[in-house]
């Protein structure tokens, strides 16, 4: 384990937050997950427990290791329970105001002035979140990928204010403690992966929107013609169409290039609550059972 980080907090226990908490706990780290209320905290625990059970069934994790990981996790609805954390990862909804509010609160709650506050944002400027605190040099982007227990990559995103020591500490934690691969990105919308990926997904949406090809044929074409493990519209459904739209809006706001603009069809689907796998329907239909 990295000598610098032994106690981690995660704010948000949804798909991403639960995954981040799970990999921390599986790596031997004392981890506290904070959700908005007790009901959401229980749901976050159930989410992690279900993921650990899947890993056991698939032979990726022993039952003993699964139980040990769950024992290292505490689920709470009070941000004050993160006061003693050395690293806190924010993983709430991809909304600038919501994230800024969390960082302003954490800055007052987390007691150690050397503690690092990280954001799992996929598109928002890290610097602006850091400036909501009095410790912008200790704020950094830590962008994990879904599903977190499976995908090995983490983007490490220092802002113009982030100190070299903070970056080194976080990279060491990602690589040595979590066993992930770290790539470093400048603090620009989309970072490395989404700046390349999202225009591709939006192109697929425009193709379906225009009637050029069906969603099924677009996905089949990219899987069988380009050896992609998943088609672009399947992938958009997995990410969540609301998240794809949010990232696209952030990219367009920053670069003002038309390839980043969210297509009307994507915006309408978000407005209709057709968000992909998490709602049972997006470009494809999914069994919610």
Which active-site residues does the annotation give?
122, 143, 155, 194
Give strand pairing partners of 30. 7
Q: What single-letter DSSP state applies at residue 261?
A: S
**Distance between CA atoms of residues 13 and 43, nearest Å:** 8
Q: What single-letter DSSP state applies at residue 137?
A: G
b (16+ CB within 10 A) / e for 135-169: bbbbbbbbbbbebbbeeeebbbbbbebbbeebbeb
Angle subtended at Cα 211 by Cα 205 and Cα 213, rounded to the nearest 5 degrees: 75
Strands of the sheet containing 30-34, edge to edge, are 73-76, 30-34, 7-11, 87-90, 116-119, 139-144, 153-158, 181-184
Q: Give, in order, the Cα–Cα distances in Å from 207 to each of 76, 229, 271.
A: 44, 20, 20
């Amino acid at each position: 384990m990295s000598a610098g980080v032994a106690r981690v907090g995660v704010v948000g226990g949804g798909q991403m937050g639960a995954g981040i908490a799970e990999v921390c706990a599986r790596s031997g780290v004392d981890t506290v997950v904070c959700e908005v209320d007790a009901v959401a905290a229980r749901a976050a625990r159930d989410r992690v427990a279900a993921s650990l059970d899947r890993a056991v069934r698939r032979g990726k994790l022993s039952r003993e290791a699964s139980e040990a990981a769950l024992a290292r996790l505490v689920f709470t609805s009070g941000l004050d329970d993160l006061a003693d954390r050395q690293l806190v990862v924010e993983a709430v909804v991809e909304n600038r105001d919501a994230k800024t509010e969390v960082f302003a609160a954490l800055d007052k709650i987390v007691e150690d002035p050397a503690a690092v506050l990280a954001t799992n944002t996929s598109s928002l400027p890290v610097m602006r979140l850091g400036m909501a605190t009095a410790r912008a040099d200790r704020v950094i982007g830590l962008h994990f990928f879904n599903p977190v227990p499976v995908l090995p990559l983490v983007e490490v995103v220092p802002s113009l204010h982030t100190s070299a020591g903070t970056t080194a500490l976080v990279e060491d934690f990602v690589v040595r403690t979590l066993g992930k691969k770290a790539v470093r990105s400048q603090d620009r919308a989309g970072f490395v992966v989404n700046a390349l990926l999202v225009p591709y997904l939006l192109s697929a949406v425009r193709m379906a929107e225009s009637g050029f090809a069906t969603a099924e044929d677009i996905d089949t074409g990219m899987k069988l013609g380009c050896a992609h493990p998943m088609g672009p519209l399947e992938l958009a459904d997995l990410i969540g169409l609301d998240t794809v739209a949010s990232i696209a809006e952030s990219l367009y706001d920053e670069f003002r290039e038309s390839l980043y603009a969210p297509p009307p069809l994507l915006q309408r689907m978000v407005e209709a609550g057709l968000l992909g796998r998490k709602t049972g329907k997006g470009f494809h239909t999914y069994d919610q059972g």
